[in-house]
A and B are shown apart, each in its own frame.
Chain A
Amino acid sequence: MPARFQLVARTANPSFLDLPWDVPLEEWDSDRIVEVVRGISRHVVRFVNYDGTLYALKELARRPAVREYRLLRQLADESVPVVPVVGVVTERALEDGEELDAILITRHLQYSLPYRVLFTGRGVPDLRNRLLDALVELLVRLHLAGFFWGDCSLSNTLFLRDAGGLSAHLVDAETGELRPRLSDGQRLHDISIAEENVIGELLDVEASDVGLPPDLDPEEIGSELVQRYEWLWTEVTRDELFGLDESYRIDDRLRRLNELGYDVEELELVGGADGYRLRLEPHVVEPGHHRRRLLVLTGLDVQENQARRLLNDLCSFRAKLEQEEGMHLPDQVAGYRWLLEVYEPAVSAIPEDMRDKLQLAEVFHEILDHRWHLSEEAGFDVGLELAVISYVDNVLRLVPNERKLLAQPIES
């Protein structure tokens, strides 16, 4: 008689039907089982191989298993770096009918490194900083998405090499909660759990045969994790005060956030006697998001980074407009008015004979840059009109015509 179980799984994965679901995971004796280095887990975790792709199987009670399956899906939808969740197997039972725990199936990230491996073999240069950066980056992203981890640890994270650095992915969401937003208390609690867990894990590596590199002191790493997190969180989310004539600094702030890998979709300016207070909600977005969003809002189809820049400008234009008019503007209205009142007047002011030099979206991006430089030099916002004139005279005039360059045959 075939084993009794119920599998809820995402498509494009193996059927897993040849696995012995009616046996406790610890006792599985299958050719598919492979041994993989991993962190500390309270549950039985084993890996199976299907055509070179590894899947992690974690055995735990039904309720948390189903909950974790849903949470991992939601987090992936929020573009948070999490291990891809594949399915959950419930209703398992031994041959004699005794119930077995559920099993959560996730896809193992190829080339991912559990933290213990980072301390052995081909090391990561400047491991201390890379490890901290990756973990802090992950925590900030999770907290921005409203996710309280509840058990942030190196064991619950996988690391991928990323252009010389590391990127961190969440692999265990069992204790997590997804909320509209986190309170400061929840964030602080999460960080203090992370600090204690990381110290414990590093002390454990130190006590093992592997040992730690000399520059890795567990307690120092723990407190630095907290400090770096606080710095990044503040940098990403802090309110900022601007003088009435310093609105060019909004652009500056948005650019710094972009450089840190964050985007801002909503921005609020609160006017006061001595200036504006800027409040923003940064978040993490999926690749191609800006291009699609700008197209929807304005009909402009440009490259991703250009779209990000143009959307930043649209965002600050909208915040100023809402502040001035004292009312919320729907997305489409804001997009239309920005196109009509900002983008089109700026590109229309480019002399006809210079319009082919660069893509118009690139020209607009350069105008914004130019305006920022002029404003910073002047100490006040010079405005778009003046920036366009100065840009045309001092920059665009000197730029070679890229369209023509590309159209000419390459000489051998």
Chain B
Amino acid sequence: MANVTYENVSKVFDGAAAVKDFSLEIEDGEFVVLVGPSGCGKSTALRMLAGLEKTTHGRILIGERVVNNVAPQSRDVAMVFQSYALYPHMTVYDNLAFGLRNLKVPKNQIDERVNRAAEILQMGDLIKRKPKQLSGGQRQRVALGRAIVREPSAFLMDEPLSNLDAALRVQTRAEILKLQDRLKTTTVYVTHDQVEAMTMGDRIAVMRLGILQQVGTPQELYTNPRNLFVAGFIGSPAMNLVPAPVVGGGGDKLIAGFRPEHLQVANGASGDGLRFDARVEVVEFLGNEQLVHLVRNETPLVAMLPIEQSVTGGQDMTFAVPRDKLHLFDTETEEKVAA
């Protein structure tokens, strides 16, 4: 196991920078998610770590070793594959072991590693079975086991769930998290899906246009976004981001941001919060909550209200946002300013 370090790393393709001056320190055993929209540079950053792309500038270290010029197979990292095959005529043991034989791992070590992996996967008693004697979930675990037995310094995962159907995606996501919890192996995981990022990462690195926007725990990113992009990207439903004067939250050069769940119906009494009137357009019932679409001065807003709150379409109401839940961003720099 090892920590991973990006030091001022850049990647330029045909004159266009895909990753710009990217620096990130990933602790040993940490699960870090690189997230951002398509073209933000997250996959390129991962591929440079895997050795699939050369860095244009900067250094990448795995542990203490600079790996810029080390071949992919010599970096001691495992790109976790989204489609490990299971061989139907081979036992679980052989499915896990054959890759190690090819790497010339001594037989006694193969035994140790396969048995260890089977324990981690909670499949110790199934080791002599063939794939057709396993359930779907067990097969998925054996497939992940093919990466585990390598015992790499780090697992690298590039959108590993993207090709799976919805049910299998949820199941595999849970398996990956359980594994990470047991293995404590450094993992760098790439996804475009912020929900996936928020549910999986110890820390999340948000990228946009090749530039690292913010790194932090899911809670830090959610509660304290550094800029307008992170504020809008993290969270579902997204943060309301409106010109500050629309809600009386500040001057012309500011954007006000507040989460839908922080928007409350004001009960007449004035408080410290920001208060404004808005018309209810549509109400979506979500079971224990309701998603309320509002409009104020032709600007759409979204509120997440408790189901007990009586709200109907076409109603004019007064809403409030607590001051401490209000984020203000500079319209030009897009950076957060003190609220």
**Among listed A30-38, A60-68, A78-86, A284-292, interface-contacting one:** A60-68
| Contact (Cβ within 8 A) B102 A189 | no
- The reply to whether B50 and A189 contact each other, CB–CB distance below 8 Å, is yes
A200: chain B residues within 8 A (beta carbon): 85, 87, 90, 95, 98-99
Number of interface residues of B (CB under 8 A): 30
Residue A129, interface by CB 8 Å: no
Contact B83–A185 (Cβ < 8 Å): no
Answer yes or no: B82 CB below 8 A from chain A CBs. yes
**Closest chain A residue, CB of each to CB of B14:** A180
B293 interface residue (CB < 8 Å to A): no
- The stretch of B159-167, B200-208, B255-263, B321-329 in contact with A is B159-167
CB distance from B10 to the nearest CB of A (A): 16
Say whether B174 faces chain A, with CB atoms less than 8 Å apart: no
Contact, CB under 8 Å: A63 / B162: yes
Q: Are B98 and A203 in contact (CB under 8 A)?
A: yes
Residue from B54, B82, B98 in contact with A199 in the complex, judged by beta carbons closer than 8 Å: B98
Report if B73 contacts A (CB, 8 A).
yes
Contact B51–A185 (Cβ < 8 Å):
yes
Q: A322 interface residue, CB < 8 Å from B?
A: no
> Is residue A42 within 8 Å, beta carbon to beta carbon, of the partner chain?
yes
B83, A188: Cβ atoms closer than 8 Å: no
Binary interface encoding of chain B residues 79-107 relative to chain A, with 1 for a CB under 8 A from any of its CBs, else 0? 10111011111100011001101100000
B90 touches A151 (CB 8 A): no
Convert A180-221 into 0s and 1s, putting 1 for each residue whose CB lies closer than 8 angstroms to a CB of B: 100101101100110111011101110110000000000100
| B66 part of interface (Cβ distance < 8 Å) | no
Interface: B71 (CB within 8 A): yes
Interface check A175, CB cutoff 8 A: yes
Does A40 have its Cβ within 8 Å of any Cβ on chain B?
yes
Residues of A contacting B163 in the complex (Cβ-Cβ under 8 angstroms): 60-61, 63-64, 174-175
| A64 partner residues in chain B, CB cutoff 8 A | 162-163
Closest to A222 in B: B102
Given contacts A61-B165, A219-B101, contact A189 B94 (CB under 8 A): no
Residue of A nearest to B163 (CB): A64
Write the nearest CB–CB distance from A291 to chain B, whole angstroms.
32
* Distance A222 CA – B99 CA, assembled complex (angstroms): 11
Q: Name the distance in Å between B37's Cβ and chain A's nearest Cβ.
A: 15
Q: How far is the CB of B169 from chain A (nearest CB, A)?
A: 9
Is B52 a contact partner of A185 (Cβ separation < 8 A)?
yes
Interface size on A, residues (CB 8 A): 34
A197 touches B102 (CB 8 A): no
CA distance A207 to B52 in the complex (A): 34
Query: Is residue A153 contacting chain B, with contact meaning CB distance below 8 A?
Result: yes
Which residues from chain A contact B101 at a C-beta distance below 8 Å? 219
Give A174 to B82 CA distance when docked, in angstroms: 10
Say if the beta carbon of A101 comes within 8 Å of chain B.
yes
Q: Is the CB of A196 within 8 A of B99?
A: yes
Name B60-78 residues within 8 Å CB distance of A.
71-73
Are A183 and B54 touching (Cβ within 8 A)?
yes
Collect the chain B residues with CB atoms within 8 Å of residue A185's CB: 47, 50-54, 71-72
A312 CB-CB contact with B under 8 Å: no
Tell yes or no: A155 within 8 A of B by CB: yes
Contact flag A203-B87 (CB < 8 Å), given A185-B54, A189-B50, A192-B72 = yes
Alpha-carbon distance A61/B159, docked complex (angstroms): 14
Partner of A153, one of B14, B47, B85, B164: B85
Q: Give the CA-CA distance A153 to B87 in the complex, in Å.
A: 12
Whether the Cβ atoms of A155 and B51 lie closer than 8 Å is no
Q: Which of chain B's residues has its CB closest to A179's CB?
A: B13
Q: Is B83 in contact with A196, judged by CB distance below 8 angstroms? A: no
Could you tell me if B54 and A42 are in contact, using CB atoms closer than 8 angstroms? no
A223 → B minimal CB distance (Å): 8
Chain A residue numbers with a CB within 8 Å of B14 are 180
- Decide: A151 near B83, CB < 8 A? Known: A60-B163, A185-B52, A200-B98: yes
The docked-state distance in angstroms from the alpha carbon of A155 to that of B89 is 14
Residue of A nearest to B168 (CB): A61
- A 369-399 to B, binary, CB cutoff 8 A, 1 in contact else 0: 0000000000000000000000000000000
**Could you give 28 example pairs across A and B, Cβ below 8 Å?**
A61-B163, A61-B164, A63-B163, A151-B81, A151-B83, A153-B85, A174-B83, A175-B83, A180-B14, A183-B53, A185-B52, A188-B71, A189-B72, A192-B73, A193-B81, A195-B102, A199-B99, A200-B85, A200-B95, A203-B87, A203-B90, A203-B94, A203-B98, A204-B88, A204-B89, A205-B89, A208-B89, A219-B101
